[in-house]
Structure 1
Amino acid sequence: MRIELKRRLGLALGALIAMTLPAVAGICEKRAFDGQGYVVCTLSAAQEPGLKLWLNGADGRVLGDFTAVRRSLAPGEVLAFAMNAGMYHADYSPVGLYVSEGEKAHDLVTGASKDNFGMLPNGVFCAGGARPYQVIESRAFGKAQPQCRIATQSGPMLVIDGALHPRFLVDSDSRYVRNGVGVSPDGQTAWFAISDRAVTFHEFGRLFRDGLGARDALYFDGSISRLYAPALGRADFGRRLGPIIGYTEQE
């Protein structure tokens, strides 16, 4: 009952925001694939400079939610969409690599572990480098050391060079609301997606590979997954977040 009330309040808040802010049309849309519903937010190469990664505010404290992110924006800057952007510790610090506007706040982690982050191969989403957008396997990233304006590490990889992660099972009973990012083969397009309801890793990976045409895709998280998309009247809340990724434009 409490979860449903929070969901309805979030939708109401999103609708209010949509009425009070200019909606950036055409970025986020509802899509259906293989019997499941998703929201997919698409960015082109030209929009890459507006993609940002947030963790702490000017006071050094964790922002933690979309409202705090909006309050941190410069005058005239509008948040078109945002979502959680990778796994974090109890103090909200990133588990893996975190780079924002070229400044690194946490190092790359390449070791295996029993959690989703360490279900190798895991990977890094990088924007503003040699290509507008890249998803790179973590150990390959460590060897290449590519330049990134923003970068966030998470795991597991959903799609690796056109193949689903080898540990994903068609008949898995592990289902969560999940979110992640995929990149087109030429690196000119990035897709940020979140499921409407609980899905398996296999189902989510197929959305990126077969539904969107991503050659590489990265899992951000599950169960805590949240989306801010005012054009759709949506502003999820209910959990404090660590790294948050989103796209801004001038009003």
Structure 2
Amino acid sequence: MRGLIALLCILCGPANAVICTDAGDFTVCAVDPATEDLRLFHRDDNGAVYGSFSAVEADVGPLSFAMNAGMYHEDRSPVGLYLEDGIQTMRLVTNAGPGNFGMLPNGVLCITENSAHVIETLRFEAEAPNCTYATQSGPMLVVDGALHPRFLRDSTSRNFRNGVGIGADGTAYFSISNHPVTFWEMGEFFRDVLRTQNALYLDGRVSRLYAPQLGRTVNGVRMGPIVGVVAPEPMVDP
């Protein structure tokens, strides 16, 4: 019950800080991109892949929240479009392909200076939005209010999964399942509970969440791209 009440609170409006809550089947972190320092992280200034939340913190400082942010190859390079601090290191992939990433429609998480958007890939290609950070993944969980057309209500394919959706007020909801779930169940959660019109699957099985306020700080498996919020510097009395 407390998890449900906390979830209802973060749905009331844009968060003025990162708010994470355990909502039963899923844990959700709500981020207001207009006020929080939301970024993507892949390589440090020396070109080394971060690969873990602790490596990012050692470089940029404490994180309020973080999770893995898209699929990657064995060398941990991004599978699709990747843009970090205005620099593109991987191109947009528009064709269908194997695995979850290639199950069209897929999409892109686009982060600007003060907003975040989940955009279906072909729309992203046509509109060419000006993103400061971007990561492509797939499949889309929710597209313009509808579940991905290939999702099955009675699917038996279950896994730990994580994704991101954007609320009508611009809040970015990053969610990870607390037990193995189907794509249908995750899509319904983003559409019906978080009320996001567009939501994107980030990955499964390797899904990890860093949420210090919930005591979730274990790094686990090595990762590719990471999304996170750099914590504000503490106020110091003059």
TM interval, short-chain normalised:
0.7 to 0.9
Give the superposition deviation at 1:25: 6.9
SS, match of residue 134 in structure 1: strand
Indicate the residue corresponding to 1:120 in structure 2. 104
SS, match of residue 235 in structure 1: coil
Number of residue pairs the alignment of both structures matches: 218
2:41 corresponds to 1:54: yes
2:142 corresponds to 1:159: yes
**Are 1:159 and 1:165, in contact at CA under 8 Å, matched by a contact in 2?**
yes
Q: Show the 5 A alignment for 1:100-249.
A: 100-128=84-112, 132-186=115-169, 188-249=170-231
Give the superposition deviation at 1:125: 0.7
**Are 2:17 and 2:31, in contact at CA under 8 Å, matched by a contact in 1?**
no
Q: Aligned letter for 2:142?
A: V
2:47 corresponds to 1:66: no
Identity value in percent? 53
Indicate the residue corresponding to 2:3 in structure 1. none
- 1-side partners of 2:179 and 2:17: how far apart? 24
Indicate the residue corresponding to 1:19 in structure 2. none
- 2-side partners of 1:228 and 1:45: how far apart? 18
List per-residue Cα deviations over 1:21-71 (Å, max 9, x = no partner): xxx975111113xxxx211000124234x0010001122111101110110
**Are 1:25 and 1:231, in contact at CA under 8 Å, matched by a contact in 2?**
no
**Are 1:28 and 1:39, in contact at CA under 8 Å, matched by a contact in 2?**
yes
SS, match of residue 21 in structure 2: strand
- 1-side partners of 2:219 and 2:228: how far apart? 15
Give the superposition deviation at 1:132: 1.1
- 2-side partners of 1:185 and 1:232: how far apart? 26
Runs of 4+ off more than 3 Å: none
2:29 corresponds to 1:29: no
Q: Please, what TM-score do these two structures have when normalized by structure 1?
A: 0.83
Give the superposition deviation at 1:99: 0.8
Give the superposition deviation at 1:211: 0.6
Q: Which has the higher contact order (CA 8 A, sep 6+)?
A: 1
CA distance 1:170–1:146, shift in 2 (3 Å): same
Q: Which runs of 5+ in 1 are unaligned?
A: 1-23
**Are 2:143 and 2:199, in contact at CA under 8 Å, matched by a contact in 1?**
yes
2:66 corresponds to 1:79: no
Identify the structure with the greater helix proportion: 1
List per-residue Cα deviations over 1:84-123 (Å, max 9, x = no partner): 0000001100000111111111110011012100000000
**Are 2:27 and 2:177, in contact at CA under 8 Å, matched by a contact in 1?**
yes
SS, match of residue 234 in structure 1: coil
- 1-side partners of 2:86 and 2:45: how far apart? 17
- 2-side partners of 1:94 and 1:45: how far apart? 23
**Are 1:84 and 1:245, in contact at CA under 8 Å, matched by a contact in 2?**
yes
Q: Aligned letter for 1:175?
A: R
**Are 2:18 and 2:65, in contact at CA under 8 Å, matched by a contact in 1?**
no
What is the CA RMSD across the aligned residues, in angstroms? 1.5
CA distance 1:96–1:250, shift in 2 (3 Å): same
Q: Aligned letter for 2:124?
A: F
Indicate the residue corresponding to 1:43 in structure 2. 31
Indicate the residue corresponding to 1:12 in structure 2. none
- 1-side partners of 2:33 and 2:228: how far apart? 15
**Are 2:108 and 2:136, in contact at CA under 8 Å, matched by a contact in 1?**
yes
